[in-house]
């Protein structure tokens, strides 16, 4: 009997041991499904709509997407790198406040800035109205930059995306030892020359990673470009799906947008290459150069202007717009929008972080090609725009729903309807695929500080893999996982293309409502849901700033 019980216990443990692998394989298959379905639908579908687009707007889609990419990535990289260097290596009045303020624009969706600045800078806005009143000009007596343009869209995206480069470049500069900087100065380089020849090249991989993230977000943006009437691939996908009702054309345009994303990833990888930088055995913290008078004022302005234009000023404009709106956030209708947004955000955040924990734990505890491939597939989603993921999921699941419904009608006379298409769970899957890379990054950042010897000691003491995760990893990873939950939650609140395409009928969110009101030129009404999105998005940004400051304090003590 003892042998039988031992054998049964061994079989049960073997079966349960296979569950994580089966679950990881299932989730990895869902993550890779949009890529394959877009590819298949693009090549098997009709090309009639695409040929018509090629004769009219396809060239414009391509040129505009490339132009927007350059107009956003270049200034965002310059602003992020310059402000990171000033905050990290110089001392001037207001620096401690600005180092946090420079991150705050990350809480704003670009389309929210578009609504706010259009309300102020458009022809009937307060700026041009004041000019006409003071100067006595007529509508055609003066020239004013057009906010609803390619340049306007690039400016909005730049103001909210430069923090990607700022955060990564700042971490890179802070991790550099002053010894290399002193070596350059001892060889005759000035402080500026040492920056260009030593510090900047060493930070190049981090800056390139931030620039790639900005590029991904730029080509994936839909809310800003659609509101400003800028025709990019993201707008073309949405138009093909809803205006032309042509899924094949949407998949073909999605394939083009996916090609843009892959090119950006390849360029970033080529730029990084196999570069490795040795900082030496001795780490010495980079001293801050105290700036005075004119230089201090210039440094303050260089850091204050992007933080003011991307964070403080939009809040003031949105608040002024909301006070003049008839929309009430506490009406039953708006409370329903808020409930839908929070529900989607919470469910998607929990699912995404759980999958990141599953993938990361398998890769750490079981070294195998399957775990490595699953982790790599999980990172692919961030390189794919939300509109592409939406099309890639809807095409196969719509085919399955229609085929199942036809079979049930012919066989049993029963209609199953749409089981997956238009469901909340399929939308949650899209969010999970889109933001899984961010959750994996937070997990890896937390697990990096856990000594592998702790894993070995726990296994020697008889802990299973589940016990190791529950008793050792999870308590130590709690801060990182909580941060990942907040980041994914806010990203879901801001996500617009996937939500517009995949949301269930009569299931609108705050982002969808803001987009709908702005599309109807009801900007004051759009300010109400926009302010709520920004308020919720500020929480993880503040948490991120606190973690950065804590890490800085640890570095100071360690130095």
SS3 520: coil
Joined tokens for residue 60: 């414009």
Decide which of 40 and 368 is more confident: 40
Mean pLDDT of 357-366: 75
Count CA atoms closer than 13 A to 143's CA, side-chain side. 1
Q: Residue 306 CB: number of other CB atoms within 10 A?
A: 24
pLDDT of residue 445: 62
What is the pLDDT at residue 173? 77
Out of 27-41, 106-120, 446-460, pick the least confident: 446-460
* Confidence class for position 15, pLDDT limits 50, 70, 90: very low
What pLDDT is stored for residue 16 in this prediction? Answer: 45
Range among 37-41, 244-248, 306-310, 490-494 with highest mean pLDDT value: 306-310
pLDDT at 315 over 80: yes
Which is higher by pLDDT, 274 or 76? 76
What are the residue ranges of CATH 1.10.3720.10 in the chain? 15-44+325-559, 58-323
Chain-centroid distance, C-alpha 123: 32
Q: Please provide the distance, in angstroms rounded to a whole number, between the alpha carbons at the two ends of the chain.
A: 63
Question: Can you give the three-state secondary structure of 540-558, one letter per residue?
Answer: HHHHHHHHHHHHHHHHHHH
- 233 vs 557 pLDDT, higher one: 233
CA distance 115 to 226: 12
Give the model's confidence band at 185: pLDDT under 50 very low, under 70 low, under 90 confident, else very high.
low
The pLDDT of residue 451 is above 70: no
Q: pLDDT value at position 376?
A: 77
Predicted confidence (pLDDT) at residue 148 exceeds the cutoff of 80: yes
Evaluate if residue 138 carries a pLDDT over 60: yes
- Residue 280 has a pLDDT of 47
Tell whether the model's pLDDT for residue 305 goes beyond 90: yes
Separation CA 252–CA 236 (nearest Å): 10
Residue 8 is predicted with a pLDDT of: 44
The CA distance from 472 to 470, in Å, is 6
Cβ contact 211:73 at 8 Å: yes
Packing angle of the helix pair 247-272, 2-44 (nearest 10 deg):
110
Query: What b-and-e string marks burial along 236-262, b requiring 16 or more CB atoms within 10 Å of the CB?
Result: bbbbbbeebebbbbbbbbbbbbbebbe
- Mean pLDDT value of segment 402-424: 79
- Structure-token pair, residue 137: 């000009």
Tokens 């150069």: give the residue.
289
Share of the chain above pLDDT 70, in %: 76
- Which pLDDT belongs to residue 312? 86
Find all residues with CB under 8 Å of 239, minimum gap 6, and list them.
none
Question: Could you tell me which residue, 202 or 98, shows the higher pLDDT?
Answer: 98
Q: What pLDDT does 12 receive?
A: 42
Q: Residue 275 pLDDT > 90, yes or no?
A: no
Higher pLDDT, 193 or 34: 34
Q: Give the burial string for 49-79 (b: 16+ CB within 10 Å, else e).
A: bbeebeeeebeebeebbeebbebbbebbbeb
Q: How far apart are CA 113 and CA 553, in angstroms?
A: 34
- Report the pLDDT averaged over residues 294-314: 89
Average pLDDT, the chain: 77
Note the Cα 472 to chain centre separation in Å: 30
**Residue 289: strand pairing partners:** 90
The 10 Å Cβ neighbour count of residue 419 is 14
Q: What is the mean pLDDT of residues 524-549?
A: 76
The torsion angles phi and psi of 518, rounded to 5 degrees, stand at: -65, -35
Q: What's the CATH architecture for 15-44+325-559? A: Orthogonal Bundle (1.10)
Q: Evaluate if pTM is beyond 0.85.
A: no
The CATH classification of domain 58-323, taken from the options 3.10.450.50, 1.10.3720.10, 1.20.1250.20, 1.10.760.10? 1.10.3720.10
Burial class (CB in 10 A: 0-12, 13-18, 19+), 145: exposed
Percentage of residues in the chain with pLDDT exceeding 90? 7
Q: Which position has the token pair 């909005």?
A: 156
Contact criterion met (CB below 8 Å) for 125 and 40? no
- pLDDT of 154 reads 93
| Residues shown for the chain | 559
Selection from 55-64, 118-127, 204-213, 341-350 with the highest mean pLDDT? 341-350
C-alpha span between 243 and 118 (Å, rounded)? 26
């Amino acid at each position: 009997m003892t042998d039988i019980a031992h054998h049964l216990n061994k079989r049960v443990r073997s079966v349960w041991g296979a569950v994580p692998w089966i679950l990881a394989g299932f989730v990895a298959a869902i993550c890779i499904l949009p890529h394959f379905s877009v590819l298949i639908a693009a090549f098997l579908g009709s090309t009639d709509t695409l040929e018509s687009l090629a004769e009219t707007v396809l060239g414009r889609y391509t040129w505009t997407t490339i132009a927007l990419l350059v107009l956003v990535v270049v200034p965002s990289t310059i602003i992020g790198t310059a402000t990171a260097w000033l905050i990290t290596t110089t001392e001037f009045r207001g620096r401690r406040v600005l180092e946090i303020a420079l991150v705050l624009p990350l809480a704003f969706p670009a389309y929210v800035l578009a609504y706010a600045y259009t309300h102020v800078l458009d022809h009937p806005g307060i700026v041009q109205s004041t000019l006409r009143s003071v100067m006595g000009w007529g509508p055609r007596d003066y020239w004013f930059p057009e906010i609803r343009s390619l340049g306007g869209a690039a400016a909005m995206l730049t103001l909210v995306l430069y923090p990607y480069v700022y955060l990564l470049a700042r971490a890179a500069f802070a991790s550099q030892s002053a010894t290399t900087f002193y070596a350059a100065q001892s060889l005759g380089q000035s402080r500026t020359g040492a920056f260009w020849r030593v510090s900047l090249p060493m930070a190049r991989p981090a800056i390139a990673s931030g620039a790639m993230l900005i590029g991904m977000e730029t080509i994936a943006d839909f809310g800003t470009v659609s509101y400003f009437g800028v025709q990019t691939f993201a707008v073309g996908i949405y138009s093909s799906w809803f205006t032309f009702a042509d899924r094949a054309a949407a998949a073909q345009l999605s394939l083009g947008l996916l090609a843009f994303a892959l090119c950006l990833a390849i360029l970033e990888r080529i730029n990084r290459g196999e570069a490795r930088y040795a900082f030496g055995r001795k780490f010495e913290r980079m001293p801050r150069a105290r700036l005075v008078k004119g230089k201090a004022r210039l440094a303050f302005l260089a850091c204050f202007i992007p933080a003011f234009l991307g964070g403080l000023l939009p809040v003031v404009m949105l608040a002024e717009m909301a006070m003049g709106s008839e929309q009430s956030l506490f009406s039953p209708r708006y409370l329903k929008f808020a409930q839908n947004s929070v529900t989607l955000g919470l469910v998607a955040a929990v699912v995404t972080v759980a999958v990141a924990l599953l993938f990361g734990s398998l890769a750490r505890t079981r070294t195998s090609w399957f775990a490595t491939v699953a982790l790599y597939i999980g990172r692919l989603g961030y390189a794919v725009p939300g509109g592409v993921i939406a099309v890639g999921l809807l095409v196969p699941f719509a085919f399955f729903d229609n085929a199942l419904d036809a079979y049930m009608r012919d066989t049993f006379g029963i209609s199953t309807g749409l089981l997956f298409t238009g469901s909340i769970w399929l939308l949650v899957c899209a969010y999970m695929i889109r933001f899984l890379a961010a959750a994996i990054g937070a997990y890896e950042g937390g697990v990096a500080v856990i000594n592998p010897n702790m894993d070995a000691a726990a296994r020697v003491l008889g802990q299973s893999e589940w016990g190791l995760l529950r008793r050792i990893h999870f308590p130590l990873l709690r801060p990182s996982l909580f941060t990942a939950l907040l980041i994914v939650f806010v990203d879901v609140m801001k996500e617009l293309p996937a939500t517009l395409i995949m949301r269930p009928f009569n299931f609108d969110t705050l982002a969808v409502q803001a987009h709908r009101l702005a599309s109807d030129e009801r900007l004051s009404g759009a300010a109400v849901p926009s302010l709520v999105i920004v308020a919720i998005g500020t929480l993880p940004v503040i948490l991120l700033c606190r973690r950065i400051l804590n890490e800085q304090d640890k570095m100071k003590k360690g130095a």
